[in-house]
Amino acid sequence: MAGEDEKTCPAHNAEAVSASFGAVLPALAENGVNVVGAWVDPPGHDFFFVLETDDYDALVEGLRPIIPSGTATIQPVGDMGATVAKRIAEES
């Protein structure tokens, strides 16, 4: 999730939008990060990305166009089915 507020929002300037949020999806792809999905809540000034990568540095480089706009929460997750199966196997 990336968030900005009314003070850092580039939406009022087409050039700023192009250089930030308009550039982030191509930047992620250029850095080898798979974009599973991307969503926006304009009134809330929040953006949500589901991304897939094993390379944290590539993730940061891909997000670089929006870093000046605000903060981000990066939450790594694993495959739930695989995690449950592994835990069950460990108990057997």
pLDDT in tens, 8-22: 777 788 898 899 999
Whole-structure pTM value = 0.78
Residue 65 and residue 36: Cα distance in Å, rounded? Answer: 19
Residue 32 and residue 27: Cα distance in Å, rounded? Answer: 9
Q: According to the model, what pLDDT value does residue 3 have?
A: 59
Percent of the chain residues topping a pLDDT of 90: 62
Q: Are strands 46-52 and 2-3 parallel, antiparallel or unpaired?
A: antiparallel
- Integer-rounded Cα Rg, in Å, for the chain is 16
Q: The tokens of 37 are what?
A: 């999905």
Residue 1 has pLDDT above 90, yes or no: no
CATH numbers and ranges of domains, the chain: 2-91 (3.30.70)
Residue 91 has pLDDT above 70, yes or no: yes
